[in-house]
A = this chain, B = another copy of it.
Amino acid sequence: MSKMPNDEVLNELSEFYKVFGDLTRVKILCVLRMNELCVQDIADSLNMTQSAISHQLRLLKTMSLVTGRREGKTIYYSLADDHIAGILDMGLEHILE
């Protein structure tokens, strides 16, 4: 990457990182990294309301960071791809040094 990416790409880039820049969302991504979970389970494990989690999941879904799999009444969420876990790790690596 020797040249400056154009504005549109840089904007997408910052929008992408913005998603990781919130404690609740990072927690959601972390728990989903370990287990496929439904909304209420995520809410319980983070001690937050179902509504708050649902709102955040919508964003995460829009940004293609998580996917949902419906099974009857409940929807199981998980990380959209391995890339996401890699990005979490890269940040953690940076923190823990």
Chain B nearest CB from A33 CB (Å) reads 8
Q: Is the CB of B94 within 8 A of A9?
A: no
Is A12 an interface residue when CB atoms closer than 8 A count as contact? yes
The distance in angstroms between the C-alpha atoms of A1 and B95, with both chains bound, is 14
- Per the CB 8 Å criterion, the residue count for chain A at the interface is 40
**Within the oligomer, what is the number of copies of this chain?**
2
Ranked nearest first, the 6 interchain pairs of A and B with the lowest CB-CB distance are A18-B21, A17-B20, A21-B21, A17-B21, A14-B26, A14-B23
Q: Is the CB of A23 within 8 A of B4?
A: no
The distance in angstroms between the C-alpha atoms of A12 and B30, with both chains bound, is 14
Within 8 A of B (CB), among A49-97: 83, 85-96
Given A3-B34, A16-B95, 17 other A-B contacts at CB below 8 A? A1-B85, A4-B30, A5-B92, A9-B96, A13-B20, A13-B26, A13-B95, A14-B21, A14-B23, A17-B17, A17-B21, A18-B18, A18-B20, A19-B21, A20-B20, A20-B21, A83-B93
